[in-house]
Structure 1
Amino acid sequence: MGFLPRLQHQVWLLAFGRLLSQVGTGFTLFYAPIFFVNQVGLSATSVGIGIGSAAVSGVVGRALGGTFADSKLWGRRRTLLLSALISAIASFALAIAYDFPTFVLGNLLMGLGTGTYWPATEAVVADLTTPEQRNEAYSITRLSDALGLGIGVVLGGLLISATGLYRALFVIDGISFLVFFVVIYWLIKETNRSISPHSQWSGWKIALSDRRLMIFAIVNTMFTTYIVQIDSALPLYLTNIVRITPDKGFEPTTISALYTGYLTLSVLAQLPIARFLNRFSRTQVLMISAGFWAAAFALVWATGAVAQMHLGWAIATFVMLAFAIVTYMPSAASLVVDIAPESLRGVYLAVNSQCWALGYFIGPPIGGWALDQTRTIASGYWLVLVATVAIAVLILQVLDKMVRHSPSA
């Protein structure tokens, strides 16, 4: 057990609860679009709009989650209970959805529940850890998310292949959120000990006036836009643009194996890398992550542009992507906590979470547009991303100087 970090037991309990809830999310992650198009009879466009509606309510949820988490009336624990309850209701709503309006309603509720959840759970981890522990603590919770999703996707696939009962997936998802609710209710105590001198909404004015946070938000949105490319643009690029033979790209089974290897490496590397990088400042770690992103995007370009060793270039790409992810995620959240006043951690972490919403909003259309162009433009898109990484590093250098010369929050 010496390999595992010494953290308060509530961090481990929260990580366990997150793993359970993410197993339920994994059940529905890949199978919801298939079910609502092929069995309910909605068009692919309608399903896309419905799923996208969750991002809109997620923005509202993040704002509420950050505000509630910092408030004396709600606090972290009640906000987490609220998010679990809303998410459970959303899952059961999707389980009985039979047309477009009910499908959109379920997704709006899910976005609201998920958005409310993130600032509160990140604030709990911050409250229960020292600055030296945070990288590893956030690594543990991200590890739980990844493991839960992976387990859920596998079990969901097995259930569908054995029974074909798609609606059961949403019921199980709802039950997983109720289990998470019980874990929080019985095992997680309120961790917010600070008394905020600010009114509920004035904290947002302070956060949005913090130049360090706003500069970080710019570069953080860039990073989340990069992450979206892994899920949206990269599979299509490997399938439609890369040419293993004159008329064919990678097979779906090969792409699946590459993604499985990428997720496995991310899980295995998360804790060792977090521990190793504790010797660097948060901004320095984010610069290291930027270097991995640049290398990964250059390798994506090479996968399509170089006439030989396509699989070798692709494997190297996914290795670099795994390192980019595991260096980015814990350090980004830890940096936000470092610069936030203790009484406004929820609001500051809500701003951090909104960067994800923005990245997921702008990333897919940009990548999709590039892949709809000629092969030259589609391949050159990855080199453009490499160039943007240089901009991100410059922004991080400015932020590094600001953080070093500002008084600690």
Structure 2
Amino acid sequence: MKFKPLQLAPQYQFSSWLSQIQTPVGMLVVGRFLSEVGTGFTLFYAPIFFVNQVGLSTTTVGIALTSTSIAGVLGRILGGSLADSREWGRRRTLLLATAISAVGSLVLAATNNFTTLVIGSLIVGLGIGFYWPASEAVVADGSQIENRRETFALTRVADNLGLAIGSVLAGLWIAIAGNYRGLFIIDAISFMVFFAVIYLAINETSQPQIEQSQQTQHFASWIAALSDRRLLIYVAVNITFTTYISQLHSTLPIYFKNFVRAEDNTLGLAATTISALFAWHLVLAVICQFPIARVLKRCSHTLALTISAILWAIGFSLIWVSAIAPSHHLLWVTLALTVFALALVSYTPFAASLVTDLAPESQRGVYFSINSLCWAFGHFVGSPLGGWALDQPRIIADNFWLGFSLSVLITVGILQYLNQILSTE
């Protein structure tokens, strides 16, 4: 008689997988959660503060926030190389990133004009640039191939849960104290806490490589990565995804505040309503992250990203409907942010896992640096584009979202081309 292999219940399989997570990844998850709580205080309220409190135009704010991406390019290039180097590695690069980010948040807290906003944005961008390649490389180093998507999903759960808690607390802070500058001070404190977690609890995860001239090693790594056709095609499609995401952070909060009608037909949603909307978006992302990762685990990376692209198209279409609908505007934007949450969780872990699969182990820092550069470029394009659209006549601002929805056709086409290349290897 043959017996079937014992199948563990899903909750026990999940517990078994969690027990396999290496300590650096686990502590990084804790640190990322605490840091994202602070980031949640500013992520959705920074554009509103600079436009409605400091008095800058949406176009000017979009341009200033673009400087974050410009500095981020330099930080990502240096950060990827430092994360792979023997002298620095992942840990020291993360320490440098969190220290720089804390300084940048303090500068933004003191912002009174365009110049200070640009300086603060440049510092924050540099810190973000150093952070992402090293952070993603730590996760890649500490994950098993068969559970890599779930491990990346876990980090996104920590990120989104922290952002959700932070955005809710920020809404309460604004409603009670009305002090927008305090949001940036809290963000700076969260980076200091993250610095302490890295310093005390996270060891170096990279494996030392055969010694060679550091300049030669870094140059060769970048040349090899930029010669990888698969990576370059992925970069093209990833820039479109990050441009979509930039609208969540920089354009939609202002659009909700200044363009969407509330239930009493007054123009502009209240700060607490906007906070609740984005908190719902982030909480839903937390709830759905693991189920989506499990459901799509058997799908190819490109299929998962195609599903994400279609969801982005639906979400942008719902924002457009909220503009032309005669009533129930809040319902439409709530549905849109619900769909955006599903689009986000079907994108982030699969994109990071794809980069890990493409990258040689010794070049993970550089590959994740290039992946992170997509985020910088996406925000570089998306922030000023959204700011420009909101400064135009109402018909352009409203139909702006329909244009984004239609652009997904190009994204899906590129993904199908990438799938053909990957399937023939």
Q: Rate the CA distance shift 1:372–1:267 in 2: closer, same or farther, 3 A.
A: same
Q: Which stretch shifts more, 264-273 or 20-29?
A: 20-29
Closer, same or farther: CA 391–372 of 1 in aligned 2, 3 Å = same
Match of 1:26 in 2: 40
Q: Is the 8 A contact 2:61 2:387 kept in 1?
A: no
Match 1:220 to one of 221, 238, 244: 238
SS in 2 for 1:199: helix
Q: Which residue of 2 aligns with 1:260?
A: 279
In structure 1, stretches of 5+ residues that fail to align are none
Q: Deviations over 1:39-95 (max 9, x none)?
A: 8x7856876665443322111111111010111111111111111222233345556
Q: Distance in 2 between matches of 1:256 and 1:81?
A: 31
- C-alpha contact (below 8 Å) 1:65/1:120 kept by paired residues: yes
Q: Which residue of 1 aligns with 2:219?
A: 201
- Rate the CA distance shift 1:158–1:316 in 2: closer, same or farther, 3 A: closer
* Paired position in structure 1 for 2:25: 11
Q: 2:324 aligns with which of 301, 305, 322?
A: 305
Report the AA paired with residue 209 of structure 1. Answer: S
Whether contact under 8 Å (1:132, 1:278) holds in the other structure is no
The 5 A counterparts of 1:5-404 are: 5-6=17-18, 7-29=21-43, 51-94=65-108, 104-156=118-170, 158=172, 169-193=183-207, 195=209, 199-235=217-253, 237=255, 248=266, 251-252=269-270, 254-307=273-326, 310-373=329-392, 375-404=394-423
Between 88-97 and 272-281, report the one with greater CA deviation. 88-97
CA-CA distance at 1:19 after TM superposition: 1.3
User: Does the 8 Å contact 1:244/1:250 carry over to 2?
Assistant: yes
Q: Is the 8 A contact 2:165 2:279 kept in 1?
A: no
Deviation at 1:123, TM superposition (A): 0.5
Q: Assess if the C-alpha contact under 8 Å between 2:43 and 2:249 holds in 1.
A: no
Please list the CA deviations of residues 171-192 of structure 1 after superposition, one character each: whole Å capped at 9, or x if unmatched. 5433332322222122212111
Kindly provide the CA deviation profile for residues 96-126 of structure 1, in whole angstroms up to 9, marking residues without a partner as x. Answer: 6777666544432222111100000000000
Query: For the residues of structure 2 that align with 1:378 and 1:239, how far apart are their CA atoms?
Result: 13
Between Structure 1 and Structure 2, how many residues are aligned? 405
Q: 1:323/1:67 Cα in 2 relative to 1: closer, same or farther (>3 Å)?
A: same
So what's the TM-score if we normalise by structure 1? 0.86
Q: Which runs of 5+ in 2 are unaligned?
A: 1-10
Could you tell me how far apart the structure 2 residues matched to 1:97 and 1:241 are?
A: 25
- Residues in 2 aligned to 1:98 and 1:315: alpha-carbon distance in whole angstroms: 33
The 3 A distance-change label for structure 1 pair 203 and 78 is same
Q: TM-score, normalised by structure 2?
A: 0.83
Q: Which moved more, 1:394-403 or 1:223-232?
A: 223-232
Query: 1:259-301 deviations in whole A, cap 9, x for unaligned?
Result: 3322221111111111221111111100111121122223233
Hey, what's the Cα distance between the residues in 2 that align with 1:37 and 1:243? 19
Counterpart CA distance in 2 for 1:116 and 1:215 is 24
Aligned-residue offset at 1:164: 6.7
Q: Secondary structure at the match of 1:132?
A: helix
Q: Residue 363 and residue 10 in structure 1: after superposition, are their counterparts in 2 closer, same or farther (change >3 A)?
A: same
User: For the residues of structure 2 that align with 1:304 and 1:180, how far apart are their CA atoms?
Assistant: 40
Question: Could you tell me how far apart the structure 2 residues matched to 1:105 and 1:384 are?
Answer: 32
Conserved 8 A contact 1:26-1:150: yes
Q: Offset at 1:163?
A: 6.1
Is 1:194–1:342's contact at 8 Å kept on the other side of the alignment? no
2:205 is paired with a residue whose SS is: coil
Aligned-residue CA RMSD (Å): 3.3
Secondary structure of residue in 1 paired with 2:277: helix
TM-fit CA distance, 1:36? 7.3
Residues 238 and 249, structure 1, Cα contact 8 Å, conserved in 2 = no
In 1, the alpha carbon distance for the partners of 2:185 and 2:22 equals 32
Deviation larger for 239-248 or 228-237: 239-248
